[in-house]
Structure 1
Amino acid sequence: MNRCVSFLVCALLLTVSSALADHQHAPAPAATAPPPLFDDVGTLQHPITTANPQAQRYFDQGLRFIYAFNHDEATRAFKEAARLDPNCAMAYWGIALTLGPNYNLPVDAERDRAAYEALQKALSLAPQASEAERAYIEAVAKRHSSDPKADRKALDQTYADAMREVAKRYPDDLDAATLFAEALMNVRPWDLWTHEGQPQPGTDEIVSTLESVLQRNPDHPGAIHYYIHTVEASPQPERAAPFADRLGKLTPGAGHLVHMPSHIYIRVGRYHDAAESNAKAAAIDAAYIEKYNIQGAYRMMYYPHNVHFFWAAATLEGRSAEALQAARDFSAKLPVEMVRQMPMVEAFVPTYLFALVRFGKWQEILKQPAPPADLTYSTGMWHYARGLAFAAKKQGKKAAAEYDKLMTIAKATPPEARVMMNSSAALLNLAASVLAGELAAKQGKTTEAVQSLETAVRQQDDLRYEEPPPWYYPVRQSLGAVLLKANRAAEAEAVYREDLKRNPENGWSLYGLTQSLRAQKKQEEAAAVDQRFRKAWAQADIIAIFN
């Protein structure tokens, strides 16, 4: 068994025993023992007003875990700092910061109330703190209100504005600048760039702020993490690559930060590096979860994200055996109760079906049982996969029946239903367009096939950015294949070239481009692209999938 996959399989076994705690709350590893001090999550320090050196150590650990998006572990560290030094205002500031909204999760009423209470304690202790610490506390106090009906978006913007002033007042405080950038990111999470590659309001300021931090300290883990998120959807994600290369080495015990470089690697065509970083991250997180019995969001969302990302990257490399095995074990070990408790992770449920489709395992698809009926998104994708399998097996009537069932679910899906960052209905309608196109192609209806797949391409382009991409493969590859088969090689060439702009050096489109060029007798160009394909496909174990 490949080393990476063996890590993933062992790690996935942990999910079976998940205690399914509240999806944002995680108990301390032990009820009475203090949380552990980790020596492998970086060396960042932020001196605060405290006479207790151990409280300082826990405060620093809390800040490191904030930057690593392990907010529950950060909360534990800040609470321990407060226990060790009850007069430490910044410990309560840290508790409030961890309980608030972040780039991946909004704040719920319970956490909002707890953050507000922590801030009242911080404010009461603020006269004993330094001027800079008081500025930190007063800024985050603007993010929470005693009124549970207060406008969350307005509160987040007010906090960002306050942190801008803190960063200006203390220009040498790199944490102030980094936290200001994060505050701006949280005003419009996962929406920093338009589909056309233009920065959204505030994005340029985030970029310039983080670049200023990294110019002064290229090893700042928080600034690197946030910079990766800020530029990954931009037209120039490669500008974060040098920092991505540093991050995992800076924090080898923080699984999410070991994973984070892959957000850049997958955007710049470094698919093998993306797969490897996620295999390492999964192994790190598995050991951490098992040793400390970690529950909550880190176990239920961040850890599976590593495995999901590994599957996506390995698929782009053509590593079918590893991708299929990871997807199979991943999907099998997702407890239905977990999905029902945290509906956004239903995005992960069809992973194995998508892997089977990607590698043309039609008979295996038809053996897969239906998901529970209440998981309607997963059920729709089950019909999608079955429809493709029947179409491939030239059983058009059965394929059409699956299409009808998929459309019924898509039409009944409420617009507010979401999986991860995207609309469930949008993804189901995209699936329907792909299935319609493939079914038409198998029936020799090229015009209809092209129209349906062009619709699917537009639908995919309109999806909200996330990584791995919300749809499991680039639909342009299907469109290019249909055009090529219809002797429309020049059009196919254009389609494959466009996909390669979006998914650089992926072997699937390099192969299609090679065939398109050969069909036009562009032999010299074809030979050059074929060499690129062979390099991209160096780790692959398939070739027949293209035939």
Structure 2
Amino acid sequence: MRDFPRWVAAAAVVAGSLCWSDAPAKADEPTKPTPSASESNPAVPAAGHSVHGEAFNDGPRRQASLTLGMGKVRFGVTTSRPEAQAFIDQGVGQLHSFFYFEAERSFRQAANLDPDCAMAYWGMAMANVNNARRAKGFLKEARKRAAKIGRREQLYIEALEAFHAEGGKEKDRRQGLVTGLETIVQDFPDDFNALAWLAMTTWQHSDKDGIGSRQAVDFLIDRVIEAEPMHPGAHHYRIHLWDSNKSTRAVRSAALYAKTAPGIAHAWHMPGHTYTNLKRFADAAYQQESSARVDHAYMARERVMPFEIHNYAHNNQWLCTSDSHIGRVHDAIAVARNLVEQPRDPEKNGPNDGGSAQRSGRIRWTELLTRYELWDDLIAADASGSLDWSNVPIERKEKAYSLGLAFAARNDSANLAKQIGALKKIAADESKAAKAAPEKSADAMKPYESALAELEGRAALAKGEIAPAFEHFARASSMRGESLARAHLSVRNYGFAETVARKAVDQNPDQLPPLAALVEVLHAVDKDKDAQDAYRRLEPLTARADHDLPVLRRLEPIVARWKSDGAWKPAEPSPSSGADESAVDRIDLATLGPLVWSPFPALPFAGVDTTGKSWSLPDLKGKTTIVVFFLGGKCAHCMQQLQLFGKEYQGLKKRNIEMLAISTDEEKGCRELKNNTDDVSFPMPILADPKLENFRRWGAFDDFEDQPLHGTFLIDADGGVRFQRISADPFLEIEFLKTEAARVIRLLDKPKPPAAG
């Protein structure tokens, strides 16, 4: 059984989560290593590729373990192995929380234990709901084994086959899945997993078509919860069902969902949607922080990169926003900065990917610094390169806009003018691009126009040009209400300042910055009774806020004067209404995992290169290192990789970047490769690992098929893994690795930020 924080383990027992065995299951008869492909036998898969077909080349290739906190479900299938059934149950629980990568791992483990289990392959297809190519490959394997299974399992396979039917219209395919699930529910009324999936697919597909009854779907979910009160899927799907609609309908499920699957980050994240919609920002922040910590513990335990989790950036940027609303700015900045600094991947989060961790981190970081008037920190973060802006127009806009606000606040008119000029050029370039691309939205220019209008208003205000300034502000549609209220206050437009400040609070209730601005404005216009009333609304938020923030420091002397004059009366606590089933049961979140991501340590290795020199992990200390695991001199793709990397070897050495290659060959084969007479240079040290000990230890190994895999790793000077790619094919993006290695070196050379909470 995988270890978990003590609270999670306890919660899993309370919630009835899986607990089957103290040791990870292993296959009785592992498959022999796969031979390399050759021209004489093209049917043999290439080295590192699966013997089972293309669909098995991707996804998890390390064995699964039965783990606490994945959600309690029972999904009986035809199998001769009880251990396989346990992994099927675990995989279905993971499916219900959209934990697709680990669900596929669980189903692969089940198939490894019982290769004839058709539903293990059905599960792999379910785990690839967003990858039709792979899902179809797994369904073919399920169909091959379907002769010996019962009618219920047959119906599951048929329903998913209908969804992935070749050439069918999307609407017909979706209807085929719904009809298939309806048949299961009708013929097997006690199959509550089918009922939960029917609710989910009905909601999803109705939402696509813009029709349907949420209440009807809610009745289906009620039926599941009546029978299985802690069913993870039922609570999960109810939150989605009422998200941004009538979130009060999901508040009970929001309070329970994490308890049903405490080991899955998404089970903590989704209740945050409900609480955000209900303006319960402290509860939302608690849920999102829990999600981040569970994810970070999982990544450290399973040695997973952040970019390998599809919704990771989304979850953490939401945490930043939730913390921003309640004034937990330092932790939010730590999370945002961490997103910027995290590992990158050339395929999964390039500069044009709006959902990447880096884009999300930059936007949230600058948003926090501007919202809380941390102008010196913003200017310093940009000057040091810490924000690491890309050249994408929307990021160039955000950089010019945020710096412009900082320089305006510092009365630096010259640098403000530079940012206005930069923003005008960006806007002009984007306007030309928009005219040349009619498919672009008519609103595409609004962010640029709004940012420019606000900066031009700031410049006019600094010159004493009050009317033109507010004409500009009127066009700044994204300008925060509290900022506009303070602008009015600065020129003694007291009536406008109060009106705008009150409107900002009404539009953003229970958020700290607009409430703080309202207190400040009301006090300035001699409405202290109203200011005190506003502060009583603000005070509960300050309990969790950072008290060194400028927006709160300005209120300290005001509140101190009220107290010294005897004019202050704190708000009376509201009477308790007893136990609240919608309340969040809080725990010490540090027990779940760390707040921010940090590189997991490289694992030990040992070997001797072709010159007889011994190498081990301590030899790499103080150097950034690229480690390549390759499948011997007979792997043509590996030779392509080594030649490509070899051309950069000397240049990397000059930058204090080491490179090692570890081969599946014997020492003799490594020497022959190194000393080849084909005028092909392999200058990097090459270590022999014929027993595959290092391959296994570093995870460059397929546990299900007992064969080595290609692996490329970037290790920083402190011994942390900053990038890894383990796959059926070798990684060839040497230019990316050079850039990433240089970035990692710069990161370690910079002063470390304060430790996050």
Measured against the shorter chain, the TM-score band is 0.7 to 0.9
TM-score, length-scaled by structure 1:
0.75
Deviations 1:431-478 (A, max 9, x none): 54145235415523354244223x338xxxxxxxxxxxxxxxxx4444
Structure label with greater radius of gyration: 2
Indicate yes or no: 2:402 matched with 1:379: no
Structure 2 CA distance for aligned equivalents of residues 68 and 79 of structure 1: 18
The answer as to whether partners of 2:71 and 2:231 remain within 8 angstroms in 1 is no
Which residue, out of 268, 274, 283, partners 2:284? 274
Does 1:391 find its partner at 2:403? no
The two structures have a TM-score, normalised by structure 2, of 0.56
Aligned to 1:292: 302
Cα distance in 1 between the residues matched to 2:302 and 2:286: 25
Alpha-carbon distance between aligned partners in 1 of 2:513 and 2:353, rounded to the nearest angstrom: 32
Check conservation: 2:516, 2:551, Cα contact below 8 A: no
Q: Please list the CA deviations of residues 369-423 of structure 1 after superposition, one character each: whole Å capped at 9, or x if unmatched.
A: 3746543432332222222223333424224213214424543667999xxxxx9
CA contact (8 A) 2:104 2:127 kept: yes
CA distance in structure 2 between the partners assigned to 1:522 and 1:200 by the alignment? 50
Report the CA distance shift for 1:44/1:336 in structure 2 as closer, same or farther (over 3 A).
Answer: closer
Identity rate, percent: 25
Structure 1 pair 96–499 and aligned structure 2 pair: CA distance change class (3 A):
same
Does structure 2 retain, via aligned residues, the 8 Å contact 1:143–1:156? yes
Whole-Å separation in 2 of the counterparts to 1:271 and 1:64: 29
- The yes-or-no answer on 1:535 pairing with 2:540 is yes
Aligned to 1:508: 513
Name the structure 2 match of 1:137: 157
Q: CA deviation digits over 1:23-42, x for unaligned, max 9?
A: x9965363xxx311112222
1:238 is displaced (CA, Å) by 2.9
- Residues 40-79 of structure 1 deviation map (CA, whole Å, 9 limit, x = unaligned): 2222222222232111111111111112222111112112
Alpha-carbon distance, 1:151 to partner: 4.4
User: 1:545 aligned to 2:545?
Assistant: no
Give yes or no for the alignment of 1:99 onto 2:120: no
In 2, distance between residues paired with 1:173 and 1:321?
A: 48
1:290-316 superposed Cα distances (whole Å, 9 cap, x missing partner): 22223586x343333443232222111
Task: Report the alpha carbon displacement of residue 495 of structure 1 after superposing the two structures with TM.
Answer: 2.1
Mapping for residues 6-85 of structure 1, pairs under 5 Å: 27-28=59-60, 30=62, 34-85=63-114
Q: Which residue of 2 aligns with 1:87?
A: 116
Structure 1 residue runs without a partner (length 5+): 1-23, 102-110, 193-198, 418-422, 458-474
- Mapped contact 1:380–1:405 kept (Cα < 8 A): no
- 1:232 corresponds to which of 238, 243, 267: 243
Structure 1 window deviating more from structure 2 (424-433 vs 391-400): it is 424-433
Secondary structure of 2:143's match? helix
Quote the Cα distance in structure 2 between the aligned partners of 1:341 and 1:168.
49
User: Which of 417, 431, 443 is 1:411 aligned to?
Assistant: 431
Secondary structure at the aligned position of 2:241 is classed as helix
CA–CA distance in 2 between the matches of 1:208 and 1:414?
Answer: 47
Superposed displacement of residue 344, structure 1: 3.6
- Are residues 27 and 159 of structure 1, via their aligned partners in 2, closer, same or farther at CA, if it must alter by over 3 Å? closer
User: Which residue of 1 is the match for residue 312 of structure 2?
Assistant: 303
Question: 1:95–1:431: structure 2 CA closer, same or farther, 3 Å change rule?
Answer: same
What are the superposed Cα offsets for residues 79-128 of structure 1, whole Å, 9 maximum, x if unpaired? Answer: 22223233323222211111123xxxxxxxxx312211222333344443
How much does 1:138 deviate? 1.3
The alignment status of 1:174 with 2:177, answered yes or no, reads no
Deviates further, 239-248 or 56-65: 239-248
The residue number in structure 2 matching 1:104 is: none
Deviates further, 388-397 or 70-79: 388-397
Task: Give the counterpart of 1:360 among 373, 383, 389.
Answer: 373
* Contact 1:314–1:320 (8 Å) recurs in 2: yes
Q: CA deviation at 1:345?
A: 2.4
**How far apart, CA to CA, are the structure 1 residues paired with 2:115 and 2:268?**
34
Q: Call closer, same or farther: CA 1:316–1:334 in 2, change over 3 Å.
A: farther
Amino acid at match of 2:375: W
SS of 1:35's equivalent in the other structure is coil
What is the distance in 2 between the residues matched to 1:60 and 1:208?
25
Secondary structure of the residue aligned to 2:377 is helix
Q: Which moved more, 1:260-269 or 1:90-99?
A: 260-269
1:256 and 2:261 correspond: no
State the AA in 1 paired with 2:262.
P
Tell me if structure 1 keeps the 8 A contact 2:404–2:455. no
Q: Which residue of 2 aligns with 1:492?
A: 500
Aligned match of 2:341 in 332, 335, 344?
Answer: 332
1:348 alignment partner, one of 342, 355, 360? 360
Q: Does 1:283 align with 2:293?
A: yes
Q: Distance in 2 between matches of 1:329 and 1:263?
A: 22
Report 1:402-441 matches (<5 A): 402-408=422-428, 410-411=430-431, 429-430=446-447, 432-441=449-458
The one of 307, 311, 327 equivalent to 1:318 is 327
Matched, 1:155 2:166: no
- Other structure's SS at 2:116 match: coil
Q: CA deviation at 1:166?
A: 3.7
On the 8 A contact 1:371/1:378 being kept in 2, the answer is no
TM-fit CA distance, 1:217: 3.1
- Write out per-residue CA displacement over residues 181-228 of structure 1, whole angstroms, 9 at most, x where no aligned residue: 322344377x79xxxxxx854545444433443344332111212222
Counterparts of 1:538 and 1:480, CA distance in 2: 25
Whether the 8 Å contact between 1:381 and 1:428 is mirrored in structure 2 is: no
Structure 2 match to 1:460: none
Residue 710 of structure 2: aligned partner: none
| Alignment partners' CA distance in 1, 2:188 and 2:481 | 49
Contact kept, 8 Å, 1:167 with 1:176, in 2: the verdict is yes
Alignment of 1:217 with 2:228, yes or no, is yes
Cα pair distance change 1:293/1:130, threshold 3 Å? same
Q: Is the 8 A contact 1:228 1:264 kept in 2?
A: yes
Distance (whole Å) between structure 1 residues aligned to residue 248 and residue 202 of structure 2: 22
Judging changes above 3 Å, is the alpha-carbon distance between structure 1 residues 329 and 268 closer, same or farther for their aligned structure 2 residues? Answer: same
CA distance in 2, matches of 1:219, 1:93: 24
What's the offset of the Cα at 1:250?
Answer: 2.4
Secondary structure of the residue that 1:301 maps to in structure 2?
coil
Letter in 2 for 1:220: H
SS at match of 2:478: helix
Q: Which region of structure 1 is more displaced relative to structure 2, 401-410 or 129-138?
A: 401-410
- Residues 169 and 78 (structure 1 numbering): CA distance in 2 closer, same or farther, change over 3 Å? same
Specify which structure has the higher proportion of helix.
1
1:266 aligned counterpart, secondary structure: helix
Give distance in 1, aligned partners of 2:190 and 2:489.
58
What whole-Å deviation, never above 9, does each CA across 1:262-302 have from its counterpart, x for those lacking one? 222223233333333333332322222222223586x3433
Cα RMSD for the two superposed structures: 3.6
Could you tell me how far apart the structure 2 residues matched to 1:188 and 1:228 are?
Answer: 16
Alignment of 1:241-252 (within 5 A): 241-252=251-262
Cα distance between partner residues in 2 of 1:521 and 1:165: 70
Give SS of 1:99's match. coil
Aligned counterparts of 2:519 and 2:166: Cα–Cα separation in 1: 62
Contact residue 483 and residue 491 of structure 1 kept, 8 A: no
Q: 1:525 to 1:158 in 2, by over 3 A?
A: farther
Distance 1:416 1:119 in 2: 44
Distance of aligned partners of 1:534 and 1:406 in 2 relative to their CA distance in 1, 3 Å threshold: farther
CA distance in 2 between counterparts of 1:25 and 1:188 reads 34
